[in-house]
Amino acid sequence: MTELKTAILQFDEKFLSESIGMEDVEFLVELYGLYLEQASKVIESMMVCRVERDFEYLGQLSHKIKSSSRSVGAIAMGNLLEAIERAARDKNASELQVYLHELPQLAEDIFEKIENHINVLKSS
């Protein structure tokens, strides 16, 4: 397990509302939902790129959701995606192997936390 996963808070549930300065539950739920939908698709595509060893597209996909991950409070995901993007750019297959091995479990953990947070928001 890399330091990226363990050193950073996986999901900061207050980050999004604090960064946009609003507590509009409906809007927050919509943003989280859009993120989950987009990130799931991108990560699935990244796993295909892993098999095909398509470093360039892998880097592009990582870049695509890196900022949105951080914006919704999925800081660890954003950091791991940044590492994947850098390793893909450098064509560093050994680093990519380690990072891409971690990605599905980290994504699953974070997506579960976001879904739980959505449920809390909806019930408030």
Give dist(CA 12, CA 110) in Å, integer.
10
DSSP 8-class letter at 8:
S
Helix (H, G, I), strand (E, B) or coil at 90: coil
Give dist(CA 95, CA 101) in Å, integer.
10
CB 98 within 8 A of CB 39: no
Note the pLDDT tens digit of each residue in 3-23: 444 445 688 888 898 888 877
Query: What is the chain's length?
Result: 124
Rounded to a whole number of angstroms, the distance between the first and last alpha carbons of the chain is 36
Residue 79's pLDDT is what?
94
Note the pLDDT tens digit of each residue in 59-115: 999 999 999 999 999 999 999 999 999 999 999 999 999 999 999 999 999 999 999
Domain extent for 30: 3-123
| Number of domains within the chain | 1
Q: What is the CATH number of the domain that holds 31?
A: 1.20.120.160
pTM tops 0.85: yes
